[in-house]
Structure 1
């Protein structure tokens, strides 16, 4: 069909049914130029596709934030390659939404080895409960990969929020929860056999470049969503580098080199729920503007699937295990860090010590609160049992009293005999 049309146009000229603007070469050139420019912008903003491929069958991958956005796209791709997925979610596995999500994921990827474990990243107690349960196993459970995709983002202009334990929310979810989780799971990482390719993948964001120095405390008066988010990402990268150094100096019982590597990944700007919340400022009006002008986010931002490409590259690229860990991956290639303090050992030491103190203080406070709550529950249960016992005694006394009254009203044997004789 196209060839005859081109031939007829070449021989007889443009057909009469073609609109006038399409007959003008200059107008046609402008249309083609605009469409071509939009196509090139879209291709550039979408980023590179992961060139690496790897058989993931039998590999155990633990992932946070695996139910939405880039984390969900990463989970789906790894599951489709046969990996055993352990989703760390705030919802319990019995939750209908989560059960449906896992069921659909198993069916679409043809992989039944997808599970969920309840872990609340806003609670140090919940993290410790899960992590200690994971490592309290002999022999050590297999763990090939940890991917930390979970993050939270407060829209601009919104007030500072805290977790139930009193920690600033973005600092807790984006940094401290990951610090706590990896600190407890590090023995499980060190215990993996030497011939196993073990990776810890930490997605980050280019916002870390604008973060205030970690050595300066972020006071409440100076707090802003942008500063707090950037600071949490910078802290996570500093901790990741320190974790890699600790793993490198660890001496395995078999005397072989350490086989766990930490990689940082900048997935770029994508149309995730967090990004949508940031662009809309968390308001209905902002969401309306976002929907009306959706072409711009579609054009300039990656899809979650394209945002996951660099994470998949860090998870599957074979050449990454030939060198040291601590690399930063962006657009499926290694890039340099924009902040020197990421590799500063003194900054890392101060951050590590401060984080441990905060977790220790928080856990002690929460343990005391749980003890008080337990004592209050026991007291309530004791009072409830005493009330139930009292009610039973009163009911028994009332029954005896009622029985006596009925016995008094009932005629005696002598009275019944006299009544019969008369």
Structure 2
């Protein structure tokens, strides 16, 4: 059978049903290029594995996007997850989410603590409660996935404390949280592999030089892109400095520091935040996003693939040895694209400015809370007096009515 067919090809050429070779080559090349592009943009998968049974993980941003995928993978490996969420613990969405995560991972050691990352007071309440324990509570890992951005075309936003939102949530909240949790991190036994994983974004490369005072200056030129990039650059500078701060600590047992900071760039992914950025928060933008979704699918990672580098940072055995402060991208160590990330003068200036800002803001916040408490107490006291007066009036009215009835019956 093959011989007659080959002879027919040799003498008569290709059969009429066979497609044109050039057309077939064109389509094969196009499909191959698309497949190669998708393979490249999807990024690398995490090659490392690690059992996490019994290990305690504090995590922000664990209910959506990349953070939700990381939370699922960590919980699947037995980690005890403490999710810091803006919603209270009895929020219906949060209750359903945690129950679903518990059932899918067969891990009941997952719970949530309400922490508003836009509030320094809320962060302090949680962190001081965590470290106020004897002996020190176990803490194996901190994963800081929470972040926010302002969509293009929208103006500058501030928290209730008057701090620019992206600077507060993306940088200052992490600075404040890790600053208070430092005693708990330093108190962990030497044989424990403690990791602080700080996701960042390559947008830090385009950030202007760090000038912390400009963050509070409302007269300076401000754009969503610049604000986001600056907050990520500040986070990276702090991460490097925080590792030096941990290394400088002299343990009572005279052993080396066992806590390591790992910075991770997960890449661009099809998350809610990315969709908000691409659509500019508008219906027309959302319509265009849906129309050109194939392009987004081709060029952007899925949240699951974006989570791989964070999982690598959590599981790779090599990162638990040697020095900390490494930058991971595509499940491998890379160099920072900017020299000022490791500039000690920049880091010192940023640290001092952040400390001053937190101190000033917390003082103002404490005064405001005290004033609100006093006003609330006075209001409650007035309401109590008014209620008492109203009760007395009603009692007198009833007394008068009874007296009249008595007089009528006597007549």
Alpha-carbon shift at residue 411 of structure 1 (Å): 2.6
How big is each residue's C-alpha offset from its partner over 1:375-422, in whole Å with a ceiling of 9 and x where there is no partner? 11111111111111111211222222222211211137xxxxxxxxxx
Query: Could you tell me how far apart the structure 2 residues matched to 1:411 and 1:278 are?
Result: 84
Query: Could you tell me how far apart the structure 2 residues matched to 1:37 and 1:8 are?
Result: 36
1:69-80 superposed matches below 5 A = 69-80=65-76
Q: Could you tell me which residue of structure 1 aligns to residue 317 of structure 2?
A: 318
Q: Could you tell me which residue of structure 2 aligns to residue 360 of structure 1?
A: 359
Report the structure number with the largest CA radius of gyration.
1
Q: Rate the CA distance shift 1:10–1:365 in 2: closer, same or farther, 3 A.
A: farther
Q: Paired residue for 1:187, among 167, 183, 190? A: 183
Q: Could you tell me which residue of structure 2 aligns to residue 285 of structure 1?
A: 284
Q: Paired residue for 1:156, among 152, 159, 167? A: 152
Alpha-carbon shift at residue 343 of structure 1 (Å): 1.1
SS of alignment partner, residue 23 of structure 1: coil
Q: Rate the CA distance shift 1:315–1:395 in 2: closer, same or farther, 3 A.
A: same
Query: Could you tell me how far apart the structure 2 residues matched to 1:258 and 1:71 are?
Result: 27
Q: Could you tell me which residue of structure 2 aligns to residue 81 of structure 1?
A: 77
Query: Could you tell me how far apart the structure 2 residues matched to 1:287 and 1:245 are?
Result: 44
Query: Could you tell me how far apart the structure 1 residues matched to 2:153 and 2:406 are?
Result: 79
Q: CA RMSD in A?
A: 1.9
Query: Could you tell me how far apart the structure 2 residues matched to 1:143 and 1:380 are?
Result: 43
Structure 1 runs, 4 residues or longer, greater than 4 Å off: 6-13, 19-22
Q: Could you tell me which residue of structure 2 aligns to residue 61 of structure 1?
A: 57
Q: Rate the CA distance shift 1:55–1:411 in 2: closer, same or farther, 3 A.
A: same
Q: Rate the CA distance shift 1:359–1:9 in 2: closer, same or farther, 3 A.
A: farther
Contact 1:21–1:27 (Cα < 8 Å) also in 2: no
Contact 1:244–1:261 (Cα < 8 Å) also in 2: yes
SS of alignment partner, residue 350 of structure 1: helix
Contact 1:21–1:28 (Cα < 8 Å) also in 2: no
Alpha-carbon shift at residue 348 of structure 1 (Å): 0.9
TM-score normalised over the length of structure 2: 0.95
Alpha-carbon shift at residue 215 of structure 1 (Å): 3.2
1:117 aligns with 2:113: yes
Query: Could you tell me how far apart the structure 1 residues matched to 2:63 and 2:88 are?
Result: 13
Query: Could you tell me how far apart the structure 1 residues matched to 2:147 and 2:126 are?
Result: 19
How big is each residue's C-alpha offset from its partner over 1:298-340, in whole Å with a ceiling of 9 and x where there is no partner? 0011000000000000000001122100000001000001111
SS of alignment partner, residue 311 of structure 1: helix
SS of alignment partner, residue 410 of structure 1: helix
Report how many residues are paired.
Answer: 403
How big is each residue's C-alpha offset from its partner over 1:211-258, in whole Å with a ceiling of 9 and x where there is no partner? 111137255441111111010000011111111101001011111111
Q: Rate the CA distance shift 1:319–1:380 in 2: closer, same or farther, 3 A.
A: same
Alpha-carbon shift at residue 163 of structure 1 (Å): 0.9
Query: Could you tell me how far apart the structure 2 residues matched to 1:179 and 1:69 are?
Result: 22
1:224 aligns with 2:223: yes
1:234 aligns with 2:233: yes
1:106 aligns with 2:84: no
1:243-322 superposed matches below 5 A = 243-322=242-321
Alpha-carbon shift at residue 156 of structure 1 (Å): 1.4
SS of alignment partner, residue 410 of structure 2: coil
Q: Rate the CA distance shift 1:21–1:176 in 2: closer, same or farther, 3 A.
A: farther
Query: Could you tell me how far apart the structure 2 residues matched to 1:10 and 1:44 are?
Result: 39
Structure 1: which 5+ runs fail to align?
14-18, 413-422
1:372 aligns with 2:371: yes
Query: Could you tell me how far apart the structure 2 residues matched to 1:8 and 1:179 are?
Result: 78
Contact 1:175–1:233 (Cα < 8 Å) also in 2: yes
Alpha-carbon shift at residue 10 of structure 1 (Å): 7.0
How big is each residue's C-alpha offset from its partner over 1:49-81, in whole Å with a ceiling of 9 and x where there is no partner? 100000011111111000111100101111111
Query: Could you tell me how far apart the structure 2 residues matched to 1:12 and 1:162 are?
Result: 78
Query: Could you tell me how far apart the structure 1 residues matched to 2:4 and 2:382 are?
Result: 96
